[in-house]
Amino acid sequence: MRADLKQEFVKQYGKQATETYFSPGRVNLIGEHIDYNGGLVMPCAITFGSYLLVSPNNENIFRFKSLNFSEQAEVHLNAEHKKVGEFWYNYPVGVIAHFLKDGKKLQGLDMLFYGDIPIGSGLSSSASIEVVTAFALNDLFTTDYNRLELVKLSQSVENKFIGVNCGIMDQFAVAFGEKDKALMLNCDTLDYQAVDSNLGDYLLAIINTNKPRKLAESKYNERVQECQTALAALKQALDINYLCDIDSQTFEQYKHLITDATVQARAKHVVEENDRVKLAAKALSGNNLTEFGQLMYASHQSLRDLYEVSGVELDTVVDYAKTNPDVAGARMTGAGFGGCAIALVKKEGFDNFSKAVAAYYTEKIGYAPSVYASLIGDGVGVLNEVVKS
């Protein structure tokens, strides 16, 4: 974290912050495009995230400042809380509005945000800022939401107040993340298992393609539709609610029912990816990072060839990763068509990886990626030591 955050708060508000909170960003380690098919995802919290420093005021005013954005705002506790333009502070305002709608008693607060997550790159800085705000309010004003309620509340803010139709995985991962654990999660039932994921000599490299994700939304909707079509075809013979209710062996027996070759390929990805998540959990908990890496490569190949949501930028990163002996595995992460790739890279080889992947990518694509080294970190919480230091 930035060493000067506490001083920044004093500079901005003329008094000390009374509390500091942190909420991470997240990556999905494996299990892509299966959350809407009743399957398992496997996100983890990363060591980049959002910091929120606060100090109560006696004015019934919420003040919003962020070191990442120049716009600032003041909102009265009793005002009508509505989304204003596309300003960043809509996220915390939305969280406050939700608390108030639930009849929770709040008081005025001076707030300073700072994030070291690359913003707008698919690492979920939005979920991070929602959850850190919700967690902080709940802690300061003892409003008695449990962690899962904070997750659902934050997702609702993103869906209804901000107007982004995201699932629950992101908020869940940033709230429930644990150091050195991956979260194997069913996004429908919210059943989850924290899987031991000691990366040992490896770290998680995050490679942002820096490509705007323009196609993502329309293609996403198209894929959802294709999965519905595949499910309807399989239902002629199988009593299932989701594609992920079957494994790949069963799929092979019944796939002829899906007559459209493209739709069949989409379904094949979904079913096999869901199986891969279970294998990945075994590999990680058994410290078999080589096996986990191979599953990452297989996931990428399936997303590229069967699901067709990758792109030359993400493929270029993964192509390079395969040539580097310090890399155990790599794949695109998130919805695709840009955004980030992740790679499991030997710690001692990271500097070399970072330079080499950037050079290879820039040569092929014409602009540079951004490369970060992360570990699997903790979920949202209080950073007391910062206040005391």
Residues with catalytic function: 170
Residue 75 CA to residue 65 CA, distance in Å, equals 12
Q: Is 288 in contact with 268 (CB distance < 8 Å)? A: no
Are 127 and 28 in contact, with CB atoms under 8 Å apart? Answer: no
Residue 121 in marked binding region: yes
* Per-residue binder mask for ligand ADP (CB under 6 A), 33-72, x = binder: -----------------x---------------x-xx---
In this chain, which of 88, 192, 320, 372 binds ligand ADP, going by CB under 6 A? Answer: 88
Give the type of residue at 12: Q
Helices (H), the chain: 5-13, 90-101, 125-140, 147-156, 169-176, 216-234, 248-254, 261-285, 289-305, 312-323, 350-365, 384-388
- Say which amino acid occupies 287: N
Q: Does 66 count as an annotated binding residue?
A: yes
Binding mask 123-142 for ligand ADP (x = CB under 6 A): xxxx--x-------------
Name the residue nearer to Mg ion (CB basis): 55 or 126.
Answer: 126
Is 124 marked within a binding site?
yes
Distance CA 119, CA 63 (A): 21
On whether 120 is known to bind a ligand per the annotation, the reply is yes
Instruction: Pick the stretch among 112-120, 182-190, 198-206, 243-251 that binds ligand ADP (CB under 6 A).
Output: 112-120
- The answer to whether residue 336 forms part of the interface with ligand ADP (CB under 6 A) is no
Nearer of residues 207 and 231 to ligand ADP, judged by Cβ: 207
Residue 311 known to bind ligand: no
Please give the residues from 90 up to 129 whose contact with Mg ion meets the rule CB under 5 A: 126
Q: Segment contacting ligand ADP (CB under 6 A): 108-116, 226-234, 236-244, 312-320?
A: 108-116
Residues from 286 through 305 that contact Mg ion (CB under 5 A):
none
Q: Say how far apart CA 124 and CA 147 lie, in whole Å.
A: 18
Crossing angle for the helix pair 90-101 and 125-140, nearest 10 degrees? 40
Contacts of 70 (CB under 8 A, 6+ apart): none
| Residues flagged as binding site | 32-35, 66, 120-126, 158, 220
| Residues flagged as binding site for Mg(2+) | 126, 158
